[in-house]
Amino acid sequence: MSTRSAASVWRYATLVVAAAALALLFTAGSADATYPTCPSGYKDCDSYKPGCETCISNDPNNCGDCGKKCVAPAYAFTKCNNGKCDYSCKPGWANCDYDWKNGCETDTGKDANNCGACGQKCKDVPYAISQCSNGKCQYSCKPGWANCDGSWDNGCETDTGKDVSNCGACGQKCKDVAYATTQCSNGKCLYTCKPGWANCDSNWMNGCETDTGKDLNNCGGCGKVCKSVPYATTSCNGGSCQNTCKPGWANCDGDWSNGCEKDTGKDVYNCGGCGKKCPTPSYKDGEATCSNGQCGQGCKKGTKFDSYKKCCVPSY
């Protein structure tokens, strides 16, 4: 290439570069003329494209300024509002300590001190366990207690371990049975027979059916049978077996096992009563007699009384 040709090429290249530079300056000057400053709430945050394309008033990635990103804390939503990051809790969560650094730290669906909302504490009620479930206070009675009136204001007011009207559960009333005292112990109905009565058939449906003060077969207690003895009438009186001798008989030896062993109508040694001995006649061959409980005098067998001689003489 000749010297003249090389110079021409160089001159052309220089003009192209200069033209490009002028075009760039013109464009930049034109942009500055169109957007000398961005309107309030907008900025040019992409740096490669001219214009105020970013709304820093509501862009969570450029909130209030380019690159200032809103980051949601635990259990929270975030948004940009008027150039400031705003937060709101997800359903079932709340910021009860007012510190957004730890986010929505409170589970209002389960926290008994903030049940459904911050500061909404589940009330303590007598004999009950309080809990928060799905944002509502719920109560369950402690063992042995129940809420039989349906009101949680007075809690679990009923002691089902002792209440005879609610024994073991609400409305489970202990039945009243004959001649018995009813009580509820550890949630079970128990019965105690009144004095002088017993449940000898082991059936509480008919209560304490046996009068142990009078029943000969259960005198003083179940199965205590009053034994019958000879020549006596047996009875149960006040829970004790008693024997009464029949007329004309007596228990002179004090032993009831042989009953009323003495015939007081005929026995000359117990005539009319124990120990009442009939006197023996003073005359020969005379003997004492007892008839219908009355003492008399007579003659021994084989003799007869001679009223003239006033003694017993042979009867032949």
Nearest to 216, CA basis, from 206, 207, 226, 229: 226
Q: How many CA atoms lie within 13 A of 127 on its CB side?
A: 16
Find residue 288's DSSP bridge partners: 297
Please check the confidence at residue 234 and state whether its pLDDT lies above 50.
yes
Q: Note the pLDDT of residue 307.
A: 84
Give mean pLDDT, residues 1-24. Answer: 40
pTM over 0.75: no
Please check the confidence at residue 30 and state whether its pLDDT lies above 70.
no
Q: Note the pLDDT of residue 73.
A: 95
Please check the confidence at residue 27 and state whether its pLDDT lies above 50.
no
Please check the confidence at residue 242 and state whether its pLDDT lies above 80.
yes
The least confident of 16-20, 43-47, 69-73, 292-296 is: 16-20
Q: Which residues contact 209 (CB under 8 A, 6 or more apart)?
A: 178, 179, 197, 199, 200, 201, 203
Round to whole Å and give the CA distance between 254 and 275.
12
Q: Note the pLDDT of residue 34.
A: 38
Which three-class secondary structure state does DSSP give residue 36? Answer: coil
Please check the confidence at residue 232 and state whether its pLDDT lies above 90.
yes
Q: Note the pLDDT of residue 36.
A: 54
Q: Note the pLDDT of residue 316.
A: 77
264 alpha-carbon distance from chain centroid: 70
Average pLDDT, the chain: 89
Please check the confidence at residue 171 and state whether its pLDDT lies above 50.
yes
Cβ(63)–Cβ(55) below 8 Å: no
Round to whole Å and give the CA distance between 112 and 7.
91
Interval 284-314: pLDDT, tens: 889 999 999 999 999 998 899 888 888 899 9
